[in-house]
Chain A
């Protein structure tokens, strides 16, 4: 789903990744983030995606694509086998959120996650009008959405605090522009660099 937001989040992620790192991208789609990081940071990257169409595009793009089902978890990956494990705009599509975050931080020294903020002003307004939000970051109707977890920036940060997940850095965006003031209301998307507390 990364193509929806263009590359403004890629630049931030590239800043967090050191040259030559080993990077695992969960739900890598067409592999554009890994391609970007390879060009910018000479990373050794692997992408996981369970959609044959995405695997095919990754192969064409020279990206190491692994057709695994993320719901099966990351048990096959060794501890600390990656520098960064990334999940771009897909956290809300996974059922076992806490397990997955823990696994990302077991397999990677750090995790990078981004997700659409359900607490965004326009989303709240839609709910206030009595309808589920549909927007740039939540482009689906309620009945065909791949999203299975609905949470806000405030919800996520509370979870990290309760579960011993360290928020090392966070960047919030509204329509691709960085948001500083009250992100839970003003940001449509959040991007985090997470570590083990």
Chain B
């Protein structure tokens, strides 16, 4: 047994694609760039490649740290590295920032070649299907004909599902974690309030705020604060913050008094320093639109009939954003198609965010599944 460790210092790479891409909306991008990182070595027969898809606020920086930013740890570093559940001594792991992102891949902050100005609101709405289509171009570029596995949590899990539908022969295993086959009306409602917060911010300027030298920070902050409420469980919030106050006595004012208020304000403020509001809008729309069953009259089983991959599905008991019931829907649709599927329902108090934590059973069963892939 070796002690799990970090992949260490990593460096992002940029891939430029000059062929135009037609998006699901019909919009055409003349070309695009994707930021990505890789960890581990691609083996001789190129059979050990794992794609990690990010969720709402994630990026290509999945594991390790940057030489000049030792505190900037990859967002899924507890899962990926030497001796970790996705073991980089055996797998070649690829993280990619999705199209429309704000971490260097082509997105609203990029220069629109047609105007010479930043895209801003002119950047087309992209979908989960669009992301997967351009991820496939990156796979081509890296010489990966078939992924050993495509892994994603939450919105990342939607991408893993879509890989098995859009490219059934290019993915052997899909790991779909804390995800859902479609958003509920309640999910879309939360997204809509977040979008309204951004769209109605006076600094939004129709999405062209870059030219005004401002960002719609108030709106983005509110969106993130609300997001955080949905990522945690009621129990977890109670344990972590309860009704604790910063002062002993109420101040009868509107400054942050309860610890939960401080937490949300801090998270909201922090988010506005590194995330782009237009990317937030696009990403929430991608979430809302994803519904592979829609083209099959709502029949998820019929929608998944194209898939050939083996699946690992996991959910978390206190996740009310993408509840275990949603994962079970996926599981039933898969098994009724005769596909191999493993389903773990992890007892964890941390709500939707559980998928980013290192619960021993969660990481144990995921690691055992990954081990099996290379056997």
Residues of A whose CB lies within 8 Å of any CB of B are 22, 44, 46, 52, 55-56, 58-60, 62, 64-68, 76-78, 81
Contacts and interface: CB of A to CB of B under 8 A. Distances in A.
A60 B332 contact: no
Nearest to B360: A52
B332 A77 contact: yes
Nearest to A60: B368
Interface in B340-368: 340-347, 361, 364-365, 368
B343 A59 contact: no
A66 B332 CA distance: 10
Contacts of A81: 335-336
Interface residues of B, number: 22
Contacts of A77: 332, 336
A58 B335 CA distance: 16
B333 to A, nearest CB: 10
Interface in B175-224: none
Contacts of A44: 338
Interface of B: 328, 331-332, 335-336, 338, 340-347, 361, 364-365, 368-369, 371-372, 375
Given A60-B371, A76-B332, A66 B342 contact: yes
Contact of B341 (A22, A55, A56, A64): A64
A14 B338 CA distance: 20
Contact of A52 (B341, B344, B369): B344
Given A46-B335, A76-B332, A59 B365 contact: yes
Contacts, number: 52
B345 A67 contact: yes
Contacts of B343: 65-68
B338 A60 contact: no
Contacts of A55: 342, 344, 365
Given A52-B361, A64-B341, A67-B345, A59 B335 contact: no
Contact of B331 (A60, A66, A78): A66
Contact of A59 (B332, B336, B347, B372): B372
B369 A59 contact: yes
Given A52-B346, A52-B347, A60-B368, 6 more contacts: A22-B338, A52-B365, A58-B342, A59-B342, A59-B372, A67-B345
18 contacts: A46-B341, A55-B342, A56-B365, A56-B368, A58-B342, A59-B342, A59-B365, A59-B368, A59-B369, A60-B371, A62-B372, A65-B343, A66-B331, A66-B343, A67-B344, A68-B345, A76-B332, A81-B335
